[in-house]
Amino acid sequence: MSPDAWQVTWFTAWVAVTSTLCILPPGLALAWLLARRNWPGKSIVETLVALPLVIPPVATGLILLKLFGRHGFIGRWLEETLGVEVVFTWKAVVLATAVMSFPLLVRTARVAFENVNPRVEHVARTLGAGPWRVFWTITLPLARSGVIAGAVLAFARALGEFGATVMVAGFIPGKTETLSLSIYHLVQLGRDGEALGLLAVSVALAFGAVWFSERMLRKAVA
């Protein structure tokens, strides 16, 4: 592999890991709320969460661009208060992949949380653990297979995301270039052979994630 390809691979892996880590806290919190609490508007929130899946990625990308762009609501605020520019930087890549993989994490983790027996959580509380500790020591470990599966799905999606990324981050070689963008680009140029090479790299990354998740699961069980 050329040094360029290495650099793209690292960047992609880094983006996928970062975006997965970023969505874990809010994703798990939301999944838990959906699984364990009843509140008005739950169905609406569920639909909203699924949105990035439902609408075509370009549209998601456009919405993100409008929000985070220089004229955008959040973008302007970020630039004025923190001096941070998001669009067309690596931050936009992370943002796009995070938004696109969020629904996958939430849905899968929710199923896992729903399957944890509340009686066991109750007993943990009589043993002196507050709700927060119960979540960390009981709910999360018991739901781990689902949470890990959700994280792997999110990671995989982050590796493959293209439509929204290219809209908010552009395809700037060496700056916002991910494997997925490169593959698209190479396919466009008819350089299928090189595209195939990068595809293999993507698949290897995905395989690594699956393998790692299986190991984590096995360790947790043993």
Partner 1 sequence: MNLEIARLRLPLAAFVLELDAVLQSRVTGLFGASGAGKTSLLETIAGLRRPTAGHISLDGMVLTDVGEGIFLPPEARGIGFVPQDGALFTHLDVRGNLSFSQRVRTHPARTAPTFEHVVEVLNLGPLVARRIGSLSGGEKQRVAFGRALLAAPQLLLLDEPLASLEVELRDQIISYLRRIRDEFKIPMLLVSHNADEMVALCDEVLVLETGRCIRRGPAAELFRPSPRPHHVLAKPVERAPFA
Partner 2 sequence: FAAASLSDALKVLAAEHQKATGDPVHLNLAASSLLARQIKEGAPADLFFSADEAKMNDLAKAGLIDPASRRSLLGNRLVIVVPLDSSLKLASAADLANPAVKHLALAETATVPAGIYAKAYLEKAKAWDAVAARVVSTENVRAALAAVESGNADAGIVYKTDALISKKVKVAYEVPAAAAPHISYPVALVKGGKNPAGGAQFLARLVSPEGRAVFAKFGFTPEP
Query: Which residues of this protein are in contact with a copy of itself, per CB under 8 A?
Result: 43-44, 46-47, 50-59, 62, 103-104, 107-108, 110-112, 114-115, 145-146, 149-150, 152-153, 156-157, 159-163, 180-181, 183-184, 187, 192, 195, 199, 202-203, 205-207, 210-211, 214
Please say whether the beta carbons of 52 and 103 come within 8 A.
yes
183 is an interface residue for partner 2 by CB under 8 A: no
Residue count at the site for partner 1 (CB under 8 A)? 21
Listed ranges 17-25, 27-35, 86-94, 112-120: which one lies at the site for partner 1 (CB under 8 A): 112-120
187 is an interface residue for partner 2 by CB under 8 A: yes
Cα separation of 37 and 24, whole Å?
A: 19
**N- to C-terminal Cα distance for the chain?**
38
47 Cβ partners below 8 Å, 6+ apart? none
Which of a copy of itself, partner 1, partner 2, none has residue 199 at its interface (CB below 5 to 8 Å by kind)? a copy of itself
190 is an interface residue for partner 2 by CB under 8 A: yes
Cα separation of 75 and 50, whole Å?
A: 23
Q: What crossing angle do the helices spanning 192-221 and 144-160 adopt, rounded to 10°?
A: 170
Please say whether the beta carbons of 93 and 165 come within 8 A.
yes
Cα separation of 27 and 105, whole Å?
A: 6
Provide, rounded to whole angstroms, the least separation between the CB of residue 64 and partner 2. Answer: 10
69 is an interface residue for partner 2 by CB under 8 A: yes
- Contacting residues toward partner 1, per CB under 8 A: 117, 119-120, 122-131, 133, 137-138, 141-142, 144, 220-221
